Chains A and B, each alone.
Chain A
Amino acid sequence: MGFILDMFILAGIFGFLYGFLLQKADFCFTASIRDWISVRDSRIGKGVLVLIATAMIGWGLVLTLGLQTVGEVWTVPIGFSNLIGGVIFGIGMTIAGSCASGALYRAGMGYIQFWIVIASMMVGNILFALVYDPWVEGYFFEPLLLTEQGFSLYQLNLPFLLIPILVVGLMLLIAVRQFGWKELGQGVKESFKDFRGNPLTKSHWDIRMVAVLIGIIATIQFVVISSISITGPETRIASVLLSFVFGDDFIYQNAYLNSMFADFPSIGLGPEETLIIFMIFGAFVSALLSKSFKIRKPKLVRLPYAIGGGLLMGIASRMAPGCNIANVIPGIGGLSISSFIVIIGMALGVFIATAYVFKMPLLLFHKMDLDG
């Protein structure tokens, strides 16, 4: 089977839009949890919740309208491997300073540190593949597996929009109880404020608005191409680079990498890989327009964080499997049980690294001693 050109063009457009939007809102999934538990800053966390709500309604609508089938919803076998992979990914992204999508948009902004994180993630992907058969398969996945198949709540015999509407309704109820209708309306009004004047040159767009836009775009992508993912395509990009050195046979003889190219006509880049590359380009254009682009050199002392965090993310993204983007948007949007477990794992991982690696204040739980 081959790919048609239209798919590459579409993927490039989607990638560009994601990169542009993520950069405009500085959408950092790591910060959404770390900053909430550490300094009670819930701004980005609210953005992630809006993204989840939009994706859930989007996936529910797509299935209700018959634009995609339940069989196309991304879900993987359920097991403790989801939790362990999630925890290690959460620790890795906190140490590295960004999640999978964060590293891409910041690479486009000129951060050398996040190019190193991406390269380290790819090394982690390959390291995982090298020990996959027989060790990881036999001693990790098989003993930890609870079900042979993945499961999405959309497989229940319920109207597709029922669970999304209930969950989003509950979110709204909690928001109204906490902030009141007036403040909630004010928030909605505020989220449009960055669109006055020329929004393209503004350095920051409201994260809630951006979350809605990303959720809508990912829903359209689910209908016309595939579920958005980052670390799977990154593993394939790493494999293509590896094939330049060791040849295509090296990739085909590795059980894990071979399976990654099962739907590919040859070892090469497909639409999803194109999407990833255009995410970096979209962020680059966004940063240029707002004069935020700069070649940012990291402090040398921080390089071990970039390399170590990236390696952990690369390995864990194959264990969980999936990164923050895949598990939050098509995962939770697709009501996939495995993704709920991965996300709980990631939150735990962020907590562990925040509390025990960086020893940050945990102001969600106690007050700060200012006179320390």
Chain B
Amino acid sequence: MTLSNEELAILKPDHIVDGIGEVCPHTLNIALKALKKAKTGEIVMEETDHSIATKTIPAAVKMNKIAEVLGVLSQSGEYKIFLKKL
């Protein structure tokens, strides 16, 4: 289920991960750490300015059935990646 930008903008995440200033592999590691802590159905949102993380994090959680990717909000080189733990 991919949400629209408007839906994502009003979504209240259960866990917020600060990935601003981080690069790979830290961007992925902190997302995985937060998903490990989260309970099933909870929403984890990572804020990052590392562009490739918008591809690597969704691919990693999808491939390993760790979380559902709700969507990515992009604005001027900053991104919010929304994940729902499975």
Contact = CB atoms under 8 A, between A and B. Distances in A.
Contacts, number: 87
A307 interface: no
Interface stretch (A3-11, A181-189, A253-261, A353-361): A353-361
A39 B21 contact: no
A35 B77 contact: no
A89 B50 CA distance: 22
B52 interface: yes
Interface string A16-34: 0000000000101011001
B23 A370 contact: no
B63 A41 contact: yes
Interface stretch (A232-240, A297-305, A322-330): A297-305
Interface in B22-59: 22-26, 28-29, 32, 35-36, 49-52, 55-56, 59
Given A26-B51, A113-B23, A40 B77 contact: no
* Chain A, interface SS category: loop
Contacts of B29: 358, 360
A249 B51 CA distance: 43
Contact of B21 (A293, A296, A363): A296
A219 interface: no
B9 interface: no
Nearest to B63: A40
Contacts of A110: 77
Contacts of B51: 26, 109, 203, 292
B59 A41 contact: yes
Contacts of A26: 51-52, 55
B64 A34 contact: no
A38 interface: yes
Contacts of B66: 368, 370
A299 B22 contact: yes
A298 B36 CA distance: 25
B78 interface: yes
A97 B76 contact: no
B26 A43 contact: no
A294 interface: yes
Contacts of A363: 64
A97 B23 contact: yes
A57 B22 CA distance: 38
A370 B29 CA distance: 13
Interface in A341-372: 354, 358, 360-361, 363, 368, 370-372
B60 interface: yes
Interface of B: 21-26, 28-29, 32, 35-36, 49-52, 55-56, 59-60, 63-64, 66, 74, 76-78
